[in-house]
Amino acid sequence: MNIDPSKHVTDESAISSLGFPLYTKSWKPTGIVKARLVFVHGFSDHCNNPGVFFFPYLASHGIEVYAFGQRGFGRSANLPSQRGASGPTKTVLLDMTELLMTVLPSPYPVFLMGHSMGGQQVLYYGTQGPVSILQQLSGFIVEAPAIYLPDAPTGFLRLLLRYTAKMLPKFQMHAAPKPARLTRDPVRNAEIEADVLFHGYCTLEGMNGALERVDYNISAGCKQLGEATPMHEPSLLMLQGAADDVCLPSGAEEYFKKCPLKDKELKLYEGWLHELHGEVGEDKLTFARDVTYWILSHSK
């Protein structure tokens, strides 16, 4: 399944956030531009992963895509000591703001999308990001957002994580799920297994910050999305594999139910797993079409 390479162009660059270089890449249409999408990848992932099919598909339909390697991941983690070192939540938000500022102000509608951990960050940013940025966004898109995490520590282990994250914030640990839990495509899963950029590491500080954002999103943030910009209510699209056991579909369903936005949509894909943009066969095309249709229908 290929995309006509003449329909888009790519560009690699870097931005600086708190003096730290972050790898960036864009996929742009060669024809008429209709919208812009800023994408935040998930844990132990990198922005060139969706760039194999999903981003070129969007670009071929008039949607500019801007993505970056998050601090601690992908091509933004060039040293072993940097792997998983995403920093505290304030740093995560600042990195996202720096990326958004490269495309704002925009002559086209701008949408903010995230996958997995990136989806959790997008939902958090929607209530805690700078109002000056939020009021320029047309909507949020989250793919398999990290809301209910069956592998996350609970009870005493969660308390222990909070304590040790303060004492040893940069301590690294391996926490990535097995590739077989990500898609139903054995070829795709083998590619993930072989990709050195899927390093699987996090730091105690990074994990604790992520879980704190998860707690906030489902307890309070889900009821506050859109409150920061009452004169400019955004739209929300949530996409979830019904068989995902990395980020449970019940999390997306509960968030969606509590979210007060008038223009919101939840799409559940029966039998699909966690990485919807990399699912087997024609399913990845179905996903790309669904996202494209939603963006373009909200860009008129």
Q: Are 240 and 252 in contact (CB under 8 A)?
A: yes
Average pLDDT, consecutive stretches of 10 residues, N- to C-terminus, the chain (300 residues): 78 93 97 98 95 95 97 95 96 98 98 98 98 98 98 94 96 94 96 94 97 96 94 96 98 98 98 98 97 96
Both tokens of residue 143? 């793919």
Residues 8 and 25: their CA atoms lie apart, in Å, by 13
User: What's the pLDDT at 40?
Assistant: 98
pTM for this prediction: 0.96
5 alpha carbon, distance to own chain's centre: 25
Give the chain as a 3 state SS string.
CCCCHHHEEEEEEEEEECCEEEEEEEEEECCCCCEEEEEECCCCCCCCCHHHCHHHHHHHCCEEEEEECCCCCHHHCCCHHHCCCCCCHHHHHHHHHHHHHCCCCCCCCEEEEEECHHHHHHHHHHHHCCHHHHCCCCEEEEECCCCCCCCCCCHHHHHHHHHHHHHCCCCEEECCCCHHHCCCCHHHHHHHHHCCCCCCEEEHHHHHHHHHHHHHHHHCHHHCCCCCCCCCCCEEEEEEECCCCCCCHHHHHHHHHHCCCCCEEEEEECCCCCCHHHCCCCHHHHHHHHHHHHHHHCCC
Domain map of the chain by residue range? 5-297
Residue 196 makes CB contacts below 8 A (sequence gap 6+) with: none
- pLDDT of 264 reads 98
Question: What DSSP element (H or E) covers 264?
Answer: strand 264-269
pLDDT at position 6: 77
Position 24 scores a pLDDT of 98
Q: Which CATH number fits domain 5-297: 3.40.50.1820, 3.30.460.80, 3.40.50.970, 3.40.50.2000?
A: 3.40.50.1820
